[in-house]
Chain A
Amino acid sequence: KQEVTQIPAALSVPEGENLVLNCSFTDSAIYNLQWFRQDPGKGLTSLLLIQSSQREQTSGRLNASLDKSSGRSTLYIAASQPGDSATYLCAVRGGETSGSRLTFGEGTQLTVNP
């Protein structure tokens, strides 16, 4: 059974700092990995999707990397802003036996202080 772990569970940083969120998964047979942002009262917003054949994806100040063989992904946020405060969730879509379900980690709650 696929398990996804995110470290740290919570993070508080001053505005402007660069930061790294970590995600690990137990079964390397994945189709893709997604990073989502969750804001209170709203749905999950997909930030980046990395296919299993890819090593990284970038969108603006966000960069996500994937090391499938070691079962790890990192989300790098450059020059953090108070508007980045949210919970960040990592999710993997497993291989053939897992169907299309996403398996999520428990999330990292990020607070960026002005």
Chain B
Amino acid sequence: GAGVSQSPRYKVTKRGQDVALRCDPISGHVSLYWYRQALGQGPEFLTYFNYEAQQDKSGLPNDRFSAERPEGSISTLTIQRTEQRDSAMYRCASSLLAGGPGETQYFGPGTRLLVL
């Protein structure tokens, strides 16, 4: 595709429900990243993949958060038993291949999650 796409763009859910956020990276991009951005803050790293392998999940805040990329393309970030503090913009980015000083990450429009 032309750019990174994310769905849904907006998600309203009730506390305690599970949500799944989807990211479709730029075609051919090997690396995929998830970030979370609170209002008025910069994005914070959650996790990233090379192909289907999760390389770093140190940014996931707790075990309610998980991510997968089973075929090395589309990725899903799942939040179980959502809490109000999970409300934020969730951003996905992709790059040709992680590593190297010239790597540029391309960001999608984000999914705005609101937990009531």
Given the complex of chains A and B, what is the CA–CA distance between A107 and B39 in angstroms? 11
Residues of B contacting A: mostly: loop
Rounded to whole Å, the gap between the CB of A61 and the closest CB of chain B is 20
Nearest A-chain residue to B37, judged by Cβ? A104
Contact partners of A34 in chain B: CB under 8 A? 104-105
Q: Let me know if B102 and A41 touch, CB within 8 A.
A: no
Q: Let me know if B31 and A100 touch, CB within 8 A.
A: yes
- A21-48, CB < 8 A from B: 31-32, 34, 36, 41-46
The count of residues in chain A whose C-beta lies closer than 8 Å to any C-beta of chain B is 27
Q: Let me know if B101 and A100 touch, CB within 8 A.
A: no
Q: Let me know if B109 and A41 touch, CB within 8 A.
A: yes
A70 lies within 8 A of chain B by Cβ: no
A83 lies within 8 A of chain B by Cβ: no
Q: Let me know if A100 and B40 touch, CB within 8 A.
A: no
Binds A, one of B14-22, B41-49, B62-70, B73-81: B41-49
Contact partners of A43 in chain B: CB under 8 A? 3-4, 91, 106-110
Q: How many A-B residue pairs have CB under 8 A?
A: 73
The count of residues in chain B whose C-beta lies closer than 8 Å to any C-beta of chain A is 31
Given the complex of chains A and B, what is the CA–CA distance between A43 and B109 in angstroms? 4
Contact partners of B55 in chain A: CB under 8 A? 99-100
Contact partners of A36 in chain B: CB under 8 A? 107
B59 lies within 8 A of chain A by Cβ: yes
Nearest A-chain residue to B42, judged by Cβ? A104
B-side residues, CB < 8 A to A, are: 3-4, 31, 33, 35, 40-45, 48, 55-56, 59, 91, 93, 95, 98-110
A-B contact pairs, 27 of them (CB 8 A): A31-B100, A31-B103, A32-B101, A32-B103, A41-B109, A43-B4, A43-B91, A43-B106, A44-B91, A44-B93, A44-B107, A49-B102, A51-B102, A89-B42, A91-B42, A93-B103, A99-B55, A99-B56, A100-B98, A102-B43, A102-B45, A103-B45, A104-B44, A106-B40, A106-B42, A107-B41, A107-B42
